[in-house]
Amino acid sequence: MNDWLILCHTRHQLRAIVRLMNTHLNRVQQTKHPFKTYIGRLRLTGIDFLGYCIGAATQGLGVAAQTWTNHFAKCTQLYEQHASPEAAAAYVRRWQIWLRSGVDIDLSNVLARLSNTLAGTAPLPS
């Protein structure tokens, strides 16, 4: 399984990329899940994708509310299971590494470079 997020400025761009995506999915005999597919305008609150919130609410990229809820639930579970302080600290360190791996990027720069690359005006980063 793969998760895809496609952001476009215009309806024309969206239709072109959806057509291209469907062509490639059909070629490898795969389909989109009907209940997990959203095609339309970005909501004012943004969208949650892979644990991050992207959009207006965060002014770019931020941590989704459900991600925080899941993290606190896991910490509570470790406490209730009498996990050692070292084990709990190791979980929090790993979670923070994962968290920073997405939030610390400059999303606008990444999207601009990707857009230029797809438009053929810039080489792919090496």
- For 54-105, the pLDDT digits (tens) are 876 556 778 888 898 999 999 999 989 999 989 999 999 999 888 888 766 5
* pLDDT level of residue 126 (50, 70, 90 thresholds): very low
How far, in Å, are 1, 54, 82 from residue 95 at the CA level? 23, 19, 19
- What was the pLDDT predicted at 71? 92
Would you say 6 and 19 are in contact if contact means Cβ atoms under 8 Å apart? Answer: no
Q: Of the candidates 53, 32, 31, which has an alpha carbon nearest to the alpha carbon of residue 42?
A: 53
Summary mean pLDDT of the chain: 79
- What was the pLDDT predicted at 124? 45
pLDDT score of 110 more than 70: no
- What was the pLDDT predicted at 52? 84
Encoding tokens for residue 28? 């490898």
Residue bearing the bigger pLDDT, 46 or 18: 18
Q: Is the pTM above the cut of 0.85?
A: no
Encoding tokens for residue 25? 């999915």
